[in-house]
Amino acid sequence: MSLSEFALIKKYFFREYSNEHIRLGSGDDCALVIVPDGLCQALSMDTLVAGVHFPLDTQPADIAYKSLAVNLSDLAAMGASPLWFSLALTMPEVNECWLSEFSAGLFELADAFSLPLVGGDITKGPLSITIQIAGSIDERLALRRDGACEGDCVFVSGVLGEAAAGLSILQNAGDRSGLLQQKWASNLIDRLNRPSPRVALGKALLNVATSCIDVSDGLLADLSHLCDRSQLGAEVDVTLVPLSGDLNAYIKTQNIDDVEKTRLMLGAGDDYELCFTAPEGLIPSVKKLAKETGVSVAVIGQMVPGNSVSCVMNGGESLDIRKMGFKHF
């Protein structure tokens, strides 16, 4: 696609920026960028493959939106401020209608964060999108996975399980034609296609949280990564994990059983909420900061000695998640 690549980039991906940190944008062998003085650069790179990370019939604008959102979510989990991003787009053919919608979805989210696209690559092949994002952060304050302390409370932002329920609805939509007309159902699908990266919350937590991770693979899986790095275990009270009205409507109307409900809330990914830890005494501060960024947070458990995540119900009764089909975390 070597020659027409330049025309495509110019038409769909080139923007003029007045940003002092972008010294040279796309169009040369490299972009030239400057990191704000005294700050560290946070880097993350995520790939979304068609049919693996999003259904094949996902709208191009949603594919672009989600590709950037999941990368922004990694910055959020570090407490970093977005600086710029690069895009590697592999697509089977040049379809200008598709590209136009993809570009619109991409810049809708990029513009919301004043985030310049500084370069990348367009290639021919099976549809996949790789984004590399960079943010700035004071190294001493970065929200790492390894900072949790014994006794810290475990928090989660927003609600969990919605994206997985949205996926389930899409996969079964053929059988249940009325479902897609329901407001709660379209909300759940929106959560799958257009996750909200918690960038403002991550930044607000910089002086408060001791560790943080974003929930991309499922709460128990991601919390177990945080436990690994912090060399601790965690005890989660599953009755404290917030259940959204939309997810509840799905569970009630679709006769979802308790095992599947638990899988959705604890085991399913793609919610891109933040799971983080902070000392118990800071609960009021955390709640206040979260409220200021427009996101709810809930205390769902505690960091404990050990090396795995265990679950209880109503503050006591142990829940054997392995019996529910979960791997051991």
Using CB under 8 A, list all residues that contact a copy of itself: 2-3, 6, 23-24, 27-35, 40-53, 74-75, 77-78, 80, 86-88, 90, 118-121, 123-126, 128, 130, 132, 135, 137, 139, 142, 144-146, 212-214, 216-217, 221, 225, 229, 269, 327
Residue 128 has phi, psi (to 5 degrees) of -155, 155
Q: Which is nearer to a copy of itself, 201 or 251 (CB)?
A: 201
Contact predicate 257/141, CB 8 Å? no
The minimum distance between CB 240 and a copy of itself, in angstroms, equals 24
The minimum distance between CB 252 and a copy of itself, in angstroms, equals 29
Q: Which is nearer to a copy of itself, 6 or 17 (CB)?
A: 6
Q: Which is nearer to a copy of itself, 201 or 221 (CB)?
A: 221
Q: Which is nearer to a copy of itself, 109 or 215 (CB)?
A: 215
Q: Which is nearer to a copy of itself, 46 or 246 (CB)?
A: 46
Q: What is the DSSP string of 260-313?
A: HHHIIIII------EEEEE-GGGHHHHHHHHHHTT--EEEEEEEESSSSEEEEE
The minimum distance between CB 125 and a copy of itself, in angstroms, equals 3
259 vs 182: CA distance, rounded Å: 24
The minimum distance between CB 80 and a copy of itself, in angstroms, equals 6
Report the candidate in 230, 228, 205, 64 with the shortest Cα–Cα distance to residue 131.
Answer: 64
Q: Which is nearer to a copy of itself, 119 or 161 (CB)?
A: 119
Q: Which is nearer to a copy of itself, 171 or 253 (CB)?
A: 171
Residue 327: CB atoms within 10 A of its CB come to 10
Q: What is the DSSP string of 146-195?
A: T---TTPEEEEES-SSHHHHHHHHHHHTTT-GGGGGSHHHHHHHHHHHS-
Residue 19 has phi, psi (to 5 degrees) of -135, 115
The minimum distance between CB 39 and a copy of itself, in angstroms, equals 9
Residue 315: CB atoms within 10 A of its CB come to 8
Six-digit token pair at 311? 């679950």
The minimum distance between CB 178 and a copy of itself, in angstroms, equals 33
4 vs 31: CA distance, rounded Å: 20
Give SS3 for 131. strand
Give SS3 for 213. strand
Six-digit token pair at 239? 């009755």
Q: Which is nearer to a copy of itself, 41 or 239 (CB)?
A: 41
- Exposure string of 171-184, with b = 16+ CB inside 10 Å and e = fewer, is eeeeeeeebeebeb
The minimum distance between CB 177 and a copy of itself, in angstroms, equals 31
Q: Which is nearer to a copy of itself, 108 or 217 (CB)?
A: 217
